[in-house]
């Protein structure tokens, strides 16, 4: 691994460096000749703070020391790639905007207030946020919207998501993206029709509802089904992430894409040129 300085390529800071996605992102940045790693951040008290991030990951030194000081780290960056936790991401959005760095946000489980705070920061800098950075899932949102628009309420829509047993939020960010796409296709607001938890005597399923189910088991990286079921047929659209590198590759693409964009809140459809 190497973090060679080349000032013509965007410098990237990875937050949550020790995490599942943080480590994948560091490997992806180090393997790219289009960006360079200029910082690695984790939370105060983490035992990686003060260590070379390459060594902390079990490899050779890369010349980047893990810090818990976001201000110091972001000052050197053209982009911050952030897959951490909601409270951290809201703080980082303000600090990345102050540093005029592109902020790529993969963190899920954000509340409406968190998103409003992030959108305020986007008045001053480029922020790209998506619950799933893979090409496949972003295409799936377009397919979902199209199918939902074509089928009437005789078809029940259910989003089923499968993740590893360490995931802390539900429904997944991806499931919510897919639910939003289905609701948009139907011309309704997701909040009005979402059915996010069934337990006990729930009554029969509401017509026009969009249901969510979350499986948490083992090491599953991320799988999503969107089911359209009538009394006589069933259509299932499915995405399977085989490897976390799909999310990291998408995030890196977003960091590079954002370099010459005007301040604002963007998503992966913007990055992929798929927004209508």
Ligand X SMILES: O=C(O)C1=N[C@H](C(=O)O)C[C@H](O)C1
Ligand Y SMILES: NC(=O)C1=CN([C@@H]2O[C@H](COP(=O)(O)OP(=O)(O)OC[C@H]3O[C@@H](n4cnc5c(N)ncnc54)[C@H](O)[C@@H]3O)[C@@H](O)[C@H]2O)C=CC1
Residues near ligand Y (CB under 6 A): 15-16, 18-22, 41-43, 46, 83-85, 88, 106-109, 130-133, 173, 247
Q: Rounded to whole angstroms, how far apart are CA atoms 69 and 17?
A: 13
121 vs 151, which CB is nearer to ligand Y?
Answer: 121
Q: Catalytic: 163?
A: yes
Q: Does 108 bind ligand X (CB under 6 A)?
A: yes
Are the beta carbons of 79 and 101 closer than 8 angstroms? yes
CB 9 to ligand X: min, Å? 27
Are the beta carbons of 159 and 212 closer than 8 angstroms? yes
Q: Rounded to whole angstroms, how far apart are CA atoms 13 and 29?
A: 10
Residues with Cβ within 8 Å of residue 87, at least 6 apart in sequence: none
Closest to 209 in 3D by CA, of 182, 177, 171, 240: 182
CB 247 to ligand X: min, Å? 6
Side-chain half-sphere CA neighbours of 197 within 13 A:
3
Q: Rounded to whole angstroms, how far apart are CA atoms 73 and 8?
A: 18
Map tokens 């496949």 to a residue: 136
CB 86 to ligand Y: min, Å? 8
Q: Catalytic: 209?
A: no
Segment 150 to 209, residues that bind ligand X, using CB under 6 A: 163, 167, 172-174
Are the beta carbons of 238 and 224 closer than 8 angstroms? yes
43 binds, among ligand Y, ligand X, none (CB under 5 to 8 A by kind): ligand Y
Segment 216 to 235, residues that bind ligand X, using CB under 6 A: 222
From residue 117 to residue 146, the character string flagging contacts with ligand X as x (rule: CB under 6 A) and all else as - is: --------------xx--------------
Determine if the peptide bond prior to 171 is cis (ω within 30°): yes
CB 28 to ligand X: min, Å? 15
31 vs 215, which CB is nearer to ligand X?
Answer: 215
Kindly list the residues in this chain that would bind ligand X in the complex (CB under 6 A): 108, 131-132, 163, 167, 172-174, 222
Q: Which residues are catalytic?
A: 163, 167
Annotated binding site for NADP(+): 43
């Amino acid at each position: 691994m190497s973090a060679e300085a080349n000032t013509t390529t965007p410098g990237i800071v990875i937050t949550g460096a020790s995490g599942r996605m943080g480590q994948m992102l560091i490997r992806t940045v180090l393997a790219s000749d289009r960006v360079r790693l200029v910082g690695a951040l984790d939370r105060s008290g983490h035992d990686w703070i003060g260590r070379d991030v390459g060594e902390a990951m079990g490899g050779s030194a890369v010349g980047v020391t893990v810090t818990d000081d976001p201000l110091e780290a972001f000052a050197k960056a053209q982009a911050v790639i952030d897959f951490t936790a909601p409270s951290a991401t809201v703080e980082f959005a303000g600090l990345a905007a102050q540093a005029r760095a592109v902020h790529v946000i993969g963190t899920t489980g954000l509340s409406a207030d968190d998103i409003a705070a992030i959108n305020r920061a986007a008045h001053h800098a480029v922020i790209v946020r998506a619950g799933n950075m893979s090409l496949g899932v972003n295409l799936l949102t377009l397919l979902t919207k199209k199918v939902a628009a074509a089928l009437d309420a005789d078809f029940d829509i259910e989003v089923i998501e499968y993740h590893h047993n360490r995931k802390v939020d539900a429904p997944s960010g991806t499931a919510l993206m897919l639910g939003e796409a289905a609701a948009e296709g139907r011309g309704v607001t997701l909040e009005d029709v979402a059915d996010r938890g069934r337990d006990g005597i729930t009554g029969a399923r509401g017509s026009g509802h969009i249901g969510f189910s979350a499986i948490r088991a083992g090491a599953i990286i991320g799988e999503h089904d969107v089911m359209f079921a009538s009394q006589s047929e069933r259509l299932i659209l499915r995405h399977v992430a085989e490897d976390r590198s799909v999310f990291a590759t998408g995030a890196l693409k977003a960091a590079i894409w954002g370099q010459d964009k005007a301040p604002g809140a963007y998503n992966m459809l913007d990055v992929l040129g798929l927004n209508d």
